C-alpha cells in the first residue's frame, strides 16, 4: 500500500485522536483532522456541566498506547479527561495536522477519481471549500446532537441544555426543574441540589443507580504506576476483565443469576432511600424494567440528593408548559426560574449535519433514516468505499469502555487499507457480507436484556437495537480480527 494515500479524519475526540496516531504509526501517513470546535476533545470539550465525569474507570477509559499514571480518581472528572486528551494530542503532534473551527458539511464519493470530495466550511462562514481525500475516517461520535423536546420551547425562563452548559447562570436560591434521568441528570443533580431553593426532577423512566465505588489514587499508587508500568498495565487489565464479566448480567438477565443481581440492586437502592428517611420514594425511583435495559448510571450521591427536602420527584408526564409553569398530566404545577434539559442526544443522528453520498449517488443519511443502520462489523458500509465509521452503529457498549472499541475498529480498518496495493484504489464491503453481519448481530442482540421492554436510546424509531455491540469487547476484537478483506470486500482498481 502506498504511503502517499491522503486520509481525512472527521472529529478530534478519542476515536479521531486514536485514528490519527495509528494511521501515522502503521501506515506512515499524516492524516488531516477536521474539527468543528476550537480545540481537541470532542464530547469531553463540549460537556462541562457541574459533576460531569466518566462512569468507566479512567485507567481503562483511556488510550492503550498512552497510559496515564496520574489519574486522580478511579472515575475522573471532565476537566481531567480533557486535559489528558490534549496531552496525547500534543505528544503525537496532532495539533499541527488539525484544522480547527471547520465543519465537513458534505462528503461525496467521486467514482472516476476513486476519492472523497469533502465540502468544508469554516464555522460562522457560508463559504465552502473543496478538498479531496482517498480515505475518510468518521470519528463523529454518537453523543453530539443534543435533543431538545418540542414541548419546552415555549418556556419563558432560562433554558440550559447540559450539552451547552452556561456558567454565567447562577443557580443559587433559584427554583430549578431538571428534565431527564440519564447520566447527565444523575451527575448534575447532586451538585446543584444544595444551592437551589427548590428542585423538581421530571423523570419519564427512573434509572438503575448503583454505588459506583469512587476513590482517590494515593501518591504511592501514582508513583508505582509511573515507575513500574507493568503494575499499571495489570491494573488496567483487571478492570477490563471485571467489566467483561459484568456483561453476563446483560446476557443472563433472565436466569437465576440475573434475577439475583436484580434483587440485590433493588435492595441496595431501597436501603439508600430508607436510610435517608424517604421510603416513599422507593416506588418512584426503582425501575420496573430489567436491570441494564437502559444504561446503568452509577452514583453514591444521586438518590441521596433526590431524598432531600428541597427536591420533588415527578413521574407524571408533562401536559403543558406555559410561561414559567410546568403542568403535569396529573395536575401538579411547578413554577421555576431555570429549566435544565438533561435530555441527552439524538443517538440516531450519527451523521449530524454531515451529508454523505456514496457510490452511484447513494445517500447514507436517507439510507439510515429509512432503514436499519447496517454496517459491516461496525466499520464499513456497502456502497461507501474507503469510508470508515468509528463508534457508530453496532459499536457502543452498556458495560465497558468504548475507547477500547474505537481502537479495535481503527486497527481493523487499517488492516483493510493495507489491502490497497498498487492496483487497488478503494475497497467496500459486499452487500452479502454486510447482511450476514447484521443478521448475526440482530440475532444475538435479541437474546440480551437490551431487547426487553424499555424506552432506550439504544433503539431506533422502529424499536430495533442499532447502536450497541451484542456481546463482550473480547468477542468484538475477534470478530473484527477475523475479517476477510479479500472475500468480504469489493476492490476497485
CA–CA separation, 437 and 80 (whole Å): 38
Fold match flag (7-145+346-492 vs 150-210+255-289+296-341): yes
pLDDT recorded at residue 2: 53
Contacts of 150 (CB under 8 A, 6+ apart): none
Share of the chain above pLDDT 70, in %: 98
Cell of 205: 423512566
Nearest to 395 by CA among 382, 381, 408: 408
| Mean pLDDT calculated for residue range 156-169 | 93
Are 181 and 303 in contact by the 8 Å Cβ rule? The answer is: no
pLDDT recorded at residue 348: 62
pLDDT recorded at residue 457: 83
- Tell the CATH topology of 7-145+346-492: FAD/NAD(P)-binding domain (3.50.50)
Out of 30-34, 99-103, 345-349, 401-405, least confident range: 345-349
pLDDT recorded at residue 347: 61
Higher pLDDT: 2 or 356? It is 356
Are 16 and 132 in contact by the 8 Å Cβ rule? The answer is: no
Task: Examine the pLDDT at 181 and tell me if it is beyond 90.
Answer: yes
| Residues 274-308: tens digit of each pLDDT | 999 999 999 999 999 999 999 999 999 999 999 99
In the sheet that holds 355-357, the strands lie side by side as: 128-133, 115-122, 102-110, 355-357
pLDDT recorded at residue 148: 83
The listed CATH number (3.40.50.1480, 3.30.70.20, 3.50.50.60, 3.40.50.150) that belongs to domain 150-210+255-289+296-341: 3.50.50.60
Out of 28-37, 176-185, 356-365, 455-464, least confident range: 455-464
pLDDT recorded at residue 353: 84
| Mean pLDDT calculated for residue range 166-179 | 96
pLDDT recorded at residue 462: 87
The pTM assigned to this predicted structure is 0.95
Task: Examine the pLDDT at 428 and tell me if it is beyond 60.
Answer: yes
Task: Examine the pLDDT at 188 and tell me if it is beyond 80.
Answer: yes
Q: Where are the domains of the chain?
A: 7-145+346-492, 150-210+255-289+296-341
CA–CA separation, 204 and 181 (whole Å): 8
pLDDT recorded at residue 3: 63
Amino acid at each position: 500500500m502506498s504511503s502517499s494515500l491522503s486520509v481525512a479524519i472527521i472529529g478530534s475526540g478519542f476515536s479521531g485522536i486514536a485514528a490519527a496516531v495509528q494511521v501515522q504509526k502503521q501506515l506512515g501517513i499524516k492524516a488531516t483532522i477536521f474539527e468543528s470546535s476550537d480545540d481537541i476533545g470532542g464530547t469531553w470539550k463540549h460537556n462541562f456541566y457541574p459533576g460531569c465525569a466518566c462512569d468507566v474507570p479512567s485507567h481503562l477509559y483511556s488510550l492503550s498506547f498512552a497510559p496515564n499514571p496520574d489519574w486522580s480518581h478511579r472515575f475522573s472528572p471532565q476537566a481531567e479527561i480533557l486535559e489528558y486528551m490534549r496531552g496525547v494530542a500534543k505528544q503525537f503532534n496532532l495539533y499541527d495536522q488539525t484544522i480547527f473551527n471547520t465543519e465537513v458539511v458534505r462528503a461525496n464519493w467521486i467514482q472516476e477519481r476513486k476519492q472523497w470530495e469533502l465540502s468544508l466550511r469554516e464555522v460562522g462562514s457560508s463559504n465552502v471549500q473543496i478538498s479531496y481525500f482517498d480515505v475518510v475516517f468518521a470519528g463523529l461520535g454518537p453523543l453530539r446532537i443534543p435533543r431538545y423536546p418540542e414541548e419546552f420551547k415555549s418556556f419563558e425562563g432560562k433554558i440550559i441544555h447540559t450539552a451547552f452548559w452556561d456558567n454565567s447562570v447562577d443557580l443559587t436560591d433559584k427554583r430549578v426543574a431538571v428534565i431527564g434521568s440519564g447520566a447527565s441528570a444523575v451527575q448534575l443533580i447532586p451538585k446543584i441540589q444544595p444551592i437551589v431553593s427548590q428542585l423538581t426532577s421530571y423523570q419519564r423512566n427512573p434509572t438503575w443507580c448503583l454505588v459506583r465505588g469512587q476513590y482517590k489514587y494515593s501518591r504511592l499508587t501514582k508513583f508505582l504506576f509511573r515507575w513500574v508500568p507493568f503494575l499499571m498495565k495489570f491494573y488496567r487489565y483487571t478492570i477490563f476483565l471485571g467489566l467483561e464479566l459484568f456483561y453476563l448480567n446483560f446476557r443472563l438477565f433472565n436466569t437465576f443469576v440475573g434475577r439475583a443481581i436484580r434483587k440485590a440492586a433493588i435492595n441496595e437502592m431501597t436501603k439508600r432511600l430508607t436510610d435517608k428517611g424517604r421510603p416513599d420514594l422507593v416506588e418512584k425511583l426503582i425501575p420496573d424494567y430489567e436491570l441494564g435495559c437502559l444504561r446503568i448510571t452509577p452514583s453514591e450521591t444521586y438518590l441521596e440528593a433526590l431524598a432531600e427536602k428541597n427536591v420533588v420527584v415527578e413521574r407524571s408526564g408533562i401536559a403543558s408548559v406555559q410561561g414559567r409553569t410546568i403542568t403535569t398530566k396529573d395536575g401538579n404545577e411547578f413554577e421555576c426560574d431555570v429549566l435544565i434539559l438533561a435530555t441527552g442526544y439524538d443517538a440516531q443522528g450519527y451523521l449530524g449535519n454531515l451529508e454523505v453520498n456514496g457510490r452511484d449517488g447513494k445517500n447514507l443519511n436517507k439510507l439510515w433514516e429509512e432503514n436499519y443502520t447496517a454496517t459491516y462489523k461496525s466499520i464499513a458500509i456497502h456502497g461507501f468505499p474507503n469510508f470508515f465509521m468509528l463508534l457508530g452503529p453496532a459499536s457502543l457498549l452498556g458495560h465497558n469502555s468504548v475507547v477500547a472499541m474505537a481502537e479495535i475498529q481503527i486497527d481493523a480498518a487499517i488492516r483493510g487499507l493495507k489491502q490497497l496495493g498498487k492496483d487497488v484504489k478503494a475497497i467496500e464491503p459486499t452487500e452479502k457480507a454486510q447482511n450476514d453481519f447484521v443478521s448475526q448481530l440482530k440475532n444475538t442482540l435479541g437474546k440480551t436484556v437490551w431487547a426487553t421492554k424499555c424506552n432506550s436510546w439504544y433503539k431506533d424509531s422502529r424499536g430495533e437495537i442499532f447502536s450497541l455491540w451484542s456481546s463482550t469487547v473480547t468477542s468484538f476484537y475477534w470478530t473484527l480480527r477475523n475479517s476477510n478483506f479479500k472475500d468480504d470486500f469489493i476492490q476497485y482498481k
